[in-house]
């Protein structure tokens, strides 16, 4: 039985999809105005693990992810510049629609490349905001027809006081919401939590469309409602995202979707907690971010990072530092070394596999699952190791059984040859000395009947 922690109820619940055997999942995707940092990617590794566990439990998955290429303003208060325009300025590109689409493509491509490197299964549908403006307009029309909106100079606004359950997902105390800039920039705003569905009166904005409310562009939240309902129906099984989306973005998604359809929008809300850097959320706006290619330059592989993420439960924050990443990298390397020594005996170890299954089905307890894997690998009496690891790695996806082709430096090869010569001369003292030298440089030699085997330490 698979249990998932639902933010809506703040409880672990047994997962039961709407349609037997099928699961619809929507994940809030990236705003493609810059590289996705490893914090963002932690959240996508989490949704990948979720998918793999659902697949393991026999479900057919339909997974949709959006690509935000319009409408995400620098402030949650429906003000500020569009993040995409800000990026054009940063990169010294012309402020045209064409260069904006080019920029979006550039960062989308890098994002998809990172997915491949991290062994993340791609969604079945990538949906770009700019290609779904019509769907958004149709959805907003329904919300307006159901009397949840009013107009101000900013555009068409959602009246959150008309939606009874507005505070439910975030357990929000609206009275305590700070009087923010929303009121100042939009004096006609009725409630501090109200948000724009369609933004007008911004003649300088690059991408604009005609709509019943005037020329303009969609508010950021509406894209996720429109695209998830288009591909997955009015009620979807699972919606994922980072923890900061609980009080605003996802709260607004629920309000506008349910205002339009009168039906429950999402049955299970799953939120990943942040990757932390120096005590704070890793964030693009704070400037100091790390990308997969930055890690690679420092000789950490993408799968070292995947292993690092799996050492923490998705509902706990994870502190990033090179020291922590190095510890994970070493553990991962050691694990693979151990595994490379194991002989295959074509069975499954039922006892260990059952323990593993219980861990993953208990709200994706990957740290526990990892401990079980280590126990299995180290258990001298256990049988069926390789076939069990094979199954386990369908979830971890850490290429645990892939034989690594290591590139041996010329210097090491030379030392190995020298050692062989000393051995032939039966000067084992000298040979051992050379072995030590090789070890110091990070390699170990194993003497086999076919000659010396070189491995990374």
Name the site residues for ligand AMP (rule: CB under 6 A): 28, 30-31, 39-40, 42-43, 241-242, 244-245, 272, 274-275, 281-283
Whole-Å CA distances, 106 to 38, 295, 365: 18, 20, 35
Nearer Cβ to Zn ion (68/160): 68
Take residue 31 and report the two structure tokens written for it.
């705003």
Q: Residues 422, 426, 431, 432: what is their CA dihedral angle, to the nearest 10 degrees? A: 180
The first and second tokens of residue 86, run together, are 């800000």
* Min dist. Cβ of residue 149 to Zn ion (A): 20
For residue 227, state whether it binds Zn ion (rule: CB under 5 A). Answer: no
Least Å distance, CB 47 to ligand AMP, is 9
Tell me the longest C-alpha to C-alpha distance in the chain. 93
In the complex, what is the shortest distance from the CB of residue 245 to ligand AMP, in angstroms, rounded to a whole number?
Answer: 5
Between residues 40 and 388, which has the closer beta carbon with respect to ligand AMP? Answer: 40
Q: Which of 224, 270, 275, 434 binds Zn ion (CB under 5 A)?
A: 224
CB of 28 to Zn ion, least distance (A): 3
Which of the choices Zn ion, ligand AMP, none does residue 282 contact, using the CB cut-off of 5 to 8 A by kind? ligand AMP
Beta bridge partners of 275: 318
DSSP structural state of residue 68:
B
216 binds, among ligand AMP, Zn ion, none (CB under 5 to 8 A by kind): none
Nearer to ligand AMP, 46 or 213 (CB): 46
Residues 11-40 within binding reach of Zn ion (CB under 5 A): 28
Task: Output 133 or 309, the one with its CB closest to ligand AMP.
Answer: 309
Find the helix packing angle between 350-361 and 385-396, rounded to 10°.
10
Q: Which helix (H) or strand (E) holds 419?
A: helix 410-424
CB 273 to ligand AMP: min, Å: 7
Residue 284 CB contacts under 8 Å (≥ 6 apart), including other chains: 34, 37
Q: How far is CA 251 from CA 22, 169, 245, in A?
A: 25, 6, 8
User: Minimum CB separation from ligand AMP for residue 275, in Å?
Assistant: 4
Burial 405-435 (b: 16+ CB within 10 A, else e): eeeeeeebeebbeebbebbeeeeeeebeebb
Among ligand AMP, Zn ion, none, the one that 275 touches (CB under a kind-dependent 5 to 8 A) is ligand AMP
Task: Classify strands 60-67 and 125-128 as parallel, antiparallel or unpaired.
Answer: parallel
The residues near 310 (Cβ < 8 Å, ≥ 6 apart) are 45, 49, 366, 367, 369, 370, 396, 398
Q: Which two tokens stand for residue 220?
A: 């950021």
Q: How many residues bind Zn ion (CB under 5 A)?
A: 2
Our CB check for ligand AMP shows the closer of 24 and 29 to be 29
Between 100 and 272, CB nearer to ligand AMP: 272
49 binds, among ligand AMP, Zn ion, none (CB under 5 to 8 A by kind): none
The C-alpha atoms of residue 58 and residue 420 are separated, in whole angstroms, by 53
Q: CB-wise, 28 or 434, nearer to ligand AMP?
A: 28
CB of 242 to ligand AMP, least distance (A): 2
Q: Which does 136 bind (CB under 5 to 8 A by kind): Zn ion, ligand AMP, none?
A: none
Coil vs helix vs strand at 134: helix
224 binds, among ligand AMP, Zn ion, none (CB under 5 to 8 A by kind): Zn ion
Smallest separation, CB 283 to ligand AMP (Å): 6
Which residues bind to Zn ion, rule: CB under 5 A? 28, 224
């Amino acid at each position: 039985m698979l249990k998932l922690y639902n933010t809506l109820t703040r409880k672990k619940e047994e997962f039961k999809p709407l349609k037997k055997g099928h699961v619809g999942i929507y994940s809030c995707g990236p705003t493609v105005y810059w590289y996705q940092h490893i914090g963002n990617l932690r959240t996508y590794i989490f949704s990948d693990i979720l998918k793999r566990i659902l697949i393991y439990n026999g479900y057919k998955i339909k997974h949709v992810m959006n690509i935000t290429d319009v409408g995400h303003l620098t402030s949650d208060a429906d003000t500020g510049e569009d993040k995409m325009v800000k990026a054009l300025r940063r990169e010294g590109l012309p402020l045209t629609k064409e260069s904006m689409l080019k920029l979006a493509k550039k960062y989308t491509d890098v994002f998809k490349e990172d997915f491949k490197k991290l062994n993340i299964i791609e969604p079945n549908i990538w949906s770009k905001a700019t290609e779904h403006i019509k769907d958004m307009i149709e959805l907003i029309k329904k919300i307006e027809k159901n009397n949840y909106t009013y107009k101000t100079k900013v555009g068409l606004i959602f009246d959150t006081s008309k939606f009874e359950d507005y505070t439910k997902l975030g357990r929000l105390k609206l009275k305590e919401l700070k009087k923010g800039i929303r009121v100042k920039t939009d004096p006609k705003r009725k409630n501090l939590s109200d948000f724009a569905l369609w933004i007008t009166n911004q003649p300088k904005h690059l991408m604009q469309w005609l709509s019943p409310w005037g020329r303009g562009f969609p508010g950021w939240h509406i894209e996720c409602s429109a695209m998830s309902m288009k591909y997955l129906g009015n009620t979807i099984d699972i919606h994922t995202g980072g923890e900061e989306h609980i009080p605003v973005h996802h709260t607004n998604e629920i309000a506008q979707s349910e205002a339009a359809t009168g039906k429950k929008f999402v049955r299970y809300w799953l939120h990943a907690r942040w990757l932390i850097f120096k005590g704070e959320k890793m964030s693009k706006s704070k400037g100091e971010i790390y990308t997969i290619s930055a890690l690679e330059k420092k000789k950490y592989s993408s799968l070292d990072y995947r292993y690092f993420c799996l050492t923490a439960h998705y509902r706990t924050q994870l502190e990033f530092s090179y020291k922590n990443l190095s510890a994970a990298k070493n553990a991962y390397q050691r694990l693979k070394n151990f595994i490379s020594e194991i002989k295959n005996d074509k069975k499954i170890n039922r006892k260990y596999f059952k323990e593993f299954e219980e861990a993953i089905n208990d709200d994706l307890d990957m740290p526990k699952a990892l401990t079980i894997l280590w126990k299995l690998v180290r258990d001298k009496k256990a049988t069926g190791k390789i076939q069990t690891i094979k199954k386990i790695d369908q979830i971890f996806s850490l290429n645990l059984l892939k034989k690594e082709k290591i590139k041996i430096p010329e210097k090491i090869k030379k030392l190995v040859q020298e050692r062989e010569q000393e051995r032939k001369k039966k000067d084992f003292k000298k040979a051992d000395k050379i072995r030590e030298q090789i070890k110091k440089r990070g390699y170990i030699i194993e003497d086999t009947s076919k000659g010396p085997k070189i491995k990374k330490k």
